[in-house]
Chains A and B, each alone.
Chain A
Amino acid sequence: MEFEENLRKETPEPDLVPIVDCMVSVIFFLLFSTTFIELTKLTLPPSAISKASPSDDKLPLTPKFYLDVKGPNLNLLLSWAGKSPGSLKESVFRQDSKSPSVKLEDKVRKMAEEFKREHVSEKSIQVALSAEANYQELITVMDGLRKTIDDIVLMSPDEVKRKDVQ
C-alpha cells in the first residue's frame, strides 16, 4: 500500500529586517531634515493702520534711528523731537555681512532702552540706513529696536545723507 507523502506547506515569511532598517533610516532622515533651518520673520507694520501714538509731551516725538556707514565704522544716531528734543549717538566697528554683529545689536538695544525709559508710551520708530548698508545690518538693527519699540517704519537712505550722522 502506498501512502501519500505528507507534504508540509511552509508559510512564506517576509524578511522584515531590511524593512525595519529602511524605516529607521527614513525616520532619522525626516527628523534631521526638519531641523536643518529655522526661519523667522520681522514685520513692518501695515501702512493702512499705522498711527502715531500720543507722546508724553503732547508734541509728536517722531523718534528716528539712523545708521551711517563711515569707513570701517557704523555711526548710529537716535534722535527725537517733542517738548524736550534729544539724541543719542554711538559708533560700532563694521563686521562682514556673513554674520550678525552682536555689538551692533547690543548698542542699538541699549539706545532704544535709554530712549524708552523717558518716553514709555512711544510705540513706533522710523529707521533709515545709508544706501551701502546691507540687509543683515537692517535685520540686526530691527532686532535691537523691536525689544523695546514695536513698530518700525523704514525711511529712505537719503534721510541719512540729509541728517549727516557724524
Chain B
Amino acid sequence: MDLESVSFKRRSTLRLQLAPMIDIFMLLIVFLLKSTVVADTSIIFPGELVAPKSLSQESLETFPEVFVFNDRIELPFIDEKHPLASLEEMGSAELKKIRTKVEAYVRSAEGESKQNVVNVNILSSRENNYKNIFESVKFLRQIGFQSVLFIAEGEKK
C-alpha cells in the first residue's frame, strides 16, 4: 500500500478574526465621541436646579446660559451675580454698566456665534415662582438680550 498517496484531512480549528472586529469598534467609538462634540449643545443643569418638563420638540441651540435660582440670577459668561430682590430696584446706571459688559461679550464672540449671543438660554428649577422668572426675563431684555429661551426636559405625550 502506497502510504504517501493517502491524504489526511486536517481539521482546521475555527479562529475568530479579532482584528476587523476591533477596527469596527474603534470606528464606532470615534463616531460616538465625535457626534457628541459636533452637537455642542450640551447643557448641564446645576445640582440645585431641576429642569421643568415640556412637550416642545424644538432642539437646543448654543446660546449664553443664565441660571435663575430661587434667590439670585447668575450670568457666568460676564461674571455677574445678582439677588433677584435687587432687580426691580436696579438703577439705570447699573443696568447700563451690565449692558456695556454684554456688548463687550457680543463683540468678543467670533464668527457665527456673534448672531447667537443676542439670545439667551434660561435654566431654572421647576419649583421657582413666576415672579422670579418674569423679573429675570425683564432684566435680560433690559441688558440687551433680544430673545429668551426656556430650557426644559423634553417629554413625549
Contact = CB atoms under 8 A, between A and B. Distances in A.
Interface residues of A, number: 48
Interface in B122-157: 124-131, 133-134, 137, 141, 146-155, 157
A142 B126 CA distance: 14
Contacts of A131: 129-131
Q: Which of B29, B43, B57, B134 is most buried by chain A, counting CB atoms within 10 A of its CB?
A: B134
Q: Which of B57, B121, B129, B151 is most buried by chain A, counting CB atoms within 10 A of its CB?
A: B129
Given A34-B36, A42-B56, A97 B148 contact: no
A41 B59 CA distance: 7
Interface string B44-78: 00000001111111111100000000000000000
Given A23-B25, A39-B51, A135 B154 contact: no
A142 B133 CA distance: 14
Interface string B96-120: 0000000000000000000000110
Given A42-B152, A48-B146, A100-B53, A134 B126 contact: yes
B130 A157 contact: yes
A52 to B, nearest CB: 17
A138 B125 CA distance: 12
B128 to A, nearest CB: 5
Contacts of A156: 134
Q: State the majority secondary structure of interface residues on A.
A: mixed
B36 A135 contact: no
Given A41-B60, A139-B54, A134 B36 contact: no
Q: State the majority secondary structure of interface residues on B.
A: mixed
A44 B22 contact: no
A99 B148 CA distance: 23
A19 B43 CA distance: 32
Contact of A38 (B21, B133, B137, B154): B154
A142 B131 contact: no
B22 A135 contact: no
A1 interface: no
A41 B150 contact: yes
A16 B148 CA distance: 52
A154 B126 contact: no
Given A41-B61, A134-B129, 14 more contacts: A26-B29, A30-B32, A30-B36, A39-B41, A39-B151, A39-B152, A42-B152, A44-B150, A45-B147, A46-B119, A130-B130, A134-B126, A135-B130, A137-B130
